Amino acid sequence: MSQEHDAFSVESVYAELLGRAPENKMEPRMEPMFRAMEILGEPNKAMPIIHVTGTNGKTSTARIIEALLLAHDLRVGRYTSPHLSSVTERICLDGEPVPDEVFVRIWDEIRPYLAIVDAELDEQGLVPLTYFEALTILGYAIFADAPVDVAVIEVGLGGITDATNVGDGQVSVVTPISLDHTELLGDTVRDIALEKSGIIKPGGFLVSSAQEPEAAQVLLEAARELEVPFRFQGVEFGVESRTLAVGGQSLVIQGLAGRYEDLALPLHGAHQAQNAAVAIAAMEAFLGGGQTALNEDLVRQGLENVASPGRLELIRSAPTLLVDAGHNPAGLKVSADAVKEAFGFSALVLVVGILAEKDAPAMLETLYTEYGDLVQDLCLTQSTSPRAIPAGELGEIALRAGFKEQDLYITERLDDALEWAVGRAEATGDLAGGVLVTGSITLVGEARTLLGK
């Protein structure tokens, strides 16, 4: 196949996937996923799985686990969502998006079997396989075909009825739980934790970030009921110390079975250090049941190779331009802490776009509170997603959050927003000024594309 044909073919598959119902158009269910796995010969059982859920930090944690596994010379599949620029980013083999040819070939192979499941659902008056269900099936099929030694699978939404939950995690990882997707998961941290605890499986091992008490209690009860060993950050493992370093930070981490010093992590923020500690504990649980220390040189090697695109990512300098996929109040809070710690801005221009299902008032209030006098100007804009809140509407919300009208610039076009923000940052003549693009993953993805990443 030519490259042009590959690219066209991937786009064709993506268009076909997008033609399916989105996840929020159906009732929670698992039966169609198990039926698809049965027809395909159970690719969900072809490899051990490290299953990752939580509200914030899932993708970064999954990427760190992947890097550590690769340092141990294992063949790794990683399934994460959403993507920043190409759908193939969601299904990675050995740290790279699945080759276009493989993506298209496996889709062509499984398409007839998905049609069987679709027909059965249609006969029952049910919604055919959704976009995310079909993509998850494709991910499992690609990993089984490779084959991989281990799959790192990030939950799409929740846990119990998430399409990825046809896989049984040998290690279940839970990153910090907070309020998000409340219309689907429940409006308390306890309700959301109950949903996410559904990935814990008999015979597995639970590794959790530090949690709010009500979330921690839910996870403890689930692990005890299933007689699964459980380890919590801040109790059995954690970050012992962290210092700023060029391009990231230097860490000392106490794991479940070992202590790891002089670790260079090329990511910014205390939250990423905590994600690294969770990833190391998950590795110890996976490779030695939490009883055996990892090879320290391999841990160093793995962490040094970590990247997390779209997470406080430096896109350009002079002026400094960062993109961050903070998409809920808790995510914006930890990113703000990291920005203030790592970059020392004296003035900041914010470019913000938010999707309709998110708590835009709380997000803008968080940005106002966290950045305070640091924000020189605020640009409200929108991505091309049909779910994007119109920029003008965001402007009204920003005023109610405390921002001043004279500091706002409103444009529906992201290219215009970026040009204006860079111009404003340059106009100050302050070398310590910068631009931060944040608020939604779709906005960050489109900004990276416009800026040549």
From 275, 304, 333, the end of a domain falls on: 304
Q: Give the pair of three-digit tokens for residue 334.
A: 């930890």
The number of folded domains in the chain is 2
User: Domain range spanning residue 366?
Assistant: 313-450
SS3 call for 185: helix
Tell me: do 257 and 365 sit in the same domain: no
Tell me: do 292 and 388 sit in the same domain: no
Tell me: do 269 and 335 sit in the same domain: no
> CA angle 92-330-271, nearest 5°?
60
Tell me: do 113 and 141 sit in the same domain: yes
Using the predicted structure, report yes or no on whether residue 125 has a pLDDT greater than 60: yes
Tell me: do 219 and 360 sit in the same domain: no
Q: Give the pair of three-digit tokens for residue 130.
A: 């959704």
What confidence tier does 180 reach under pLDDT thresholds 50, 70, 90?
A: low
Tell me: do 225 and 322 sit in the same domain: no
Q: Give the pair of three-digit tokens for residue 323.
A: 């993109």
Q: Give the pair of three-digit tokens for residue 289.
A: 């049941």
pLDDT at position 453, please? 79
pLDDT at position 326, please? 85
Q: What is the pLDDT of residues 359-394, one digit of tens each?
A: 999 999 999 999 988 898 999 999 999 999 999 999
Tell me: do 133 and 252 sit in the same domain: yes
Tell me: do 21 and 96 sit in the same domain: yes
CATH number at residue 118: 3.40.1190.10
From 247, 272, 304, the end of a domain falls on: 304
Q: What is the pLDDT of residues 203-262, one digit of tens each?
A: 999 999 999 999 999 999 999 999 999 999 999 999 999 999 989 999 999 999 999 999
Paired sense of beta strands 91-93 and 96-97, if any: antiparallel
Q: What is the pLDDT of residues 28-56, one digit of tens each?
A: 899 999 999 999 999 999 999 999 999 88
Tell me: do 206 and 284 sit in the same domain: yes
The answer to whether the bond into 319 is cis (omega within 30° of 0) is yes
**Given its phi and psi angles, is residue 428 left (phi above 0), alpha (psi -120 to 50 degrees) or beta?**
alpha
CATH number at residue 390: 3.90.190.20
Q: What is the pLDDT of residues 287-323, one digit of tens each?
A: 999 999 999 999 999 999 999 999 999 999 889 999 9
What confidence tier does 121 reach under pLDDT thresholds 50, 70, 90?
A: very high
